[in-house]
Chain A
Amino acid sequence: DIQMTQSPSTLSASVGDRVTITCRASQTINNWLAWYQQKPGKAPKLLMYEASILESGVPSRFSGSGAGTEFTLTISSLQPDDIGFYFCQQCDTYTFGQGTNVEI
Chain B
Amino acid sequence: EVQLVQSGVEVKKPGESLKISCRGSRDIFENRWIGWMRHMPGKGLEWVGRIYTGDSDTRMNPSFEGQVTISVDKSINTAYLQWNSLKDSDGAIFYCARRKMGAFYRGFDVWGQGTTVTVTS
Contacts and interface: CB of A to CB of B under 8 A. Distances in A.
Contacts of B46: 95-96
Interface in B33-52: 35, 37, 43-47
Interface of B: 3-4, 35, 37, 43-47, 61, 95, 97, 100, 104-109, 111-114
Going nearest first, the 5 A-B pairs with the smallest beta carbon separation are A34-B107, A94-B47, A32-B105, A43-B111, A91-B105
Interface majority SS (helix, strand, loop, mixed), chain A: loop
17 contacts: A31-B105, A34-B106, A42-B113, A43-B95, A45-B111, A49-B105, A49-B107, A49-B109, A87-B44, A87-B45, A93-B61, A94-B61, A95-B46, A95-B47, A96-B46, A96-B47, A98-B43
B45 A91 contact: no
Count class of interface residues, chain A: 20 to 34
A96 B44 contact: yes
